[in-house]
């Protein structure tokens, strides 16, 4: 294992790290966090195990990097869209509908890994704090976006916190719980109405 975790600079090295991230996500979403090891991830990425440890301290380090990548690739473009639109109630409803679709797709894409990570974080305070910091960053991005919008939101921190947890609950239900008695089209519309009331009222 490398004593120093490196940040790749050359394109070839960046490509290797990205292949490790993709291979790790592909394997862990299907088999779970606990049933995949670094050597298997490295093999699937077409690199040596030593290369894995050049860029990641361990599997959890790789997972946190995946989450950061999701924030940069998915959340930040959505937030930019939120800021750039002349946001009124109609635009807000369209935006929330798109947000729910994209975030539920992200959750579904994490597969078994999602629940395994929640279990792991409950036993590792350091990693849990890192995860909470990431969640805080996501919510702060939305708070800052709300302040820059035309919505004139009162108590944005508190409202975004409520909205975030409501959206998370919807995504978990749609991606993992899948109750037979739930009509997900109706659930989505009810979530949208609730979010409009929370954010705009």
Q: What pLDDT does residue 176 have?
A: 85
Q: What pLDDT does residue 194 have?
A: 95
Q: What pLDDT does residue 1 have?
A: 44
The fold of 59-200 is: Tetracycline Repressor; domain 2 (1.10.357)
Q: What pLDDT does residue 190 have?
A: 96
Are the C-beta atoms of 14 and 8 separated by less than 8 Å?
A: yes
- The whole-angstrom separation of Cα 14 and Cα 55 is 10
- The whole-angstrom separation of Cα 164 and Cα 195 is 10
Q: How many residues make up the chain in this entry?
A: 201
The fold of 1-57 is: Arc Repressor Mutant, subunit A (1.10.10)
Q: What pLDDT does residue 80 have?
A: 82
Question: From start to end of the chain, where are the E strands?
Answer: none
Q: What pLDDT does residue 84 have?
A: 76
Are the C-beta atoms of 113 and 64 separated by less than 8 Å?
A: no
Domain boundaries, the chain: 1-57, 59-200
Q: What pLDDT does residue 6 have?
A: 66
Q: What pLDDT does residue 2 have?
A: 44
Query: In which residue ranges of the chain is pLDDT below 50?
Result: 1-3
Are the C-beta atoms of 23 and 71 separated by less than 8 Å?
A: no
Whole-model pTM over 0.95: no
SS3 content of the chain, % helix, strand, coil (to 5): 80, 0, 20
């Amino acid at each position: 294992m490398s004593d120093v975790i490196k940040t790749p600079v050359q394109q070839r090295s960046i490509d290797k790290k990205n292949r490790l991230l993709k291979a790790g996500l592909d394997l862990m979403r299907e088999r779970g966090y606990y049933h995949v090891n670094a050597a298997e991830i490295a093999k699937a990425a077409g690199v040596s195990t030593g290369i894995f440890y050049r860029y990641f301290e361990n599997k959890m380090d790789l997972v946190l990097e995946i989450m950061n990548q999701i924030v940069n690739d998915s959340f930040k473009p959505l937030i930019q869209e939120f800021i750039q639109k002349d946001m009124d109630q109609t635009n807000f409803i369209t935006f929330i509908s798109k947000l729910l679709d994209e975030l539920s797709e992200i959750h579904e894409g994490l597969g078994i890994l999602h629940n395994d990570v929640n279990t792991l974080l409950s036993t590792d305070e350091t990693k849990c704090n890192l995860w909470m910091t990431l969640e805080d960053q996501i919510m702060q991005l939305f708070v800052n976006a709300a302040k820059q919008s035309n919505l004139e939101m009162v108590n944005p921190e508190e409202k975004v916190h409520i909205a975030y947890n409501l959206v998370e609950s919807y995504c978990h239900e749609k991606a993992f719980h899948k109750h037979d008695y739930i009509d997900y089209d109706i659930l989505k519309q009810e979530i949208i109405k609730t979010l409009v009331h929370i954010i705009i009222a």
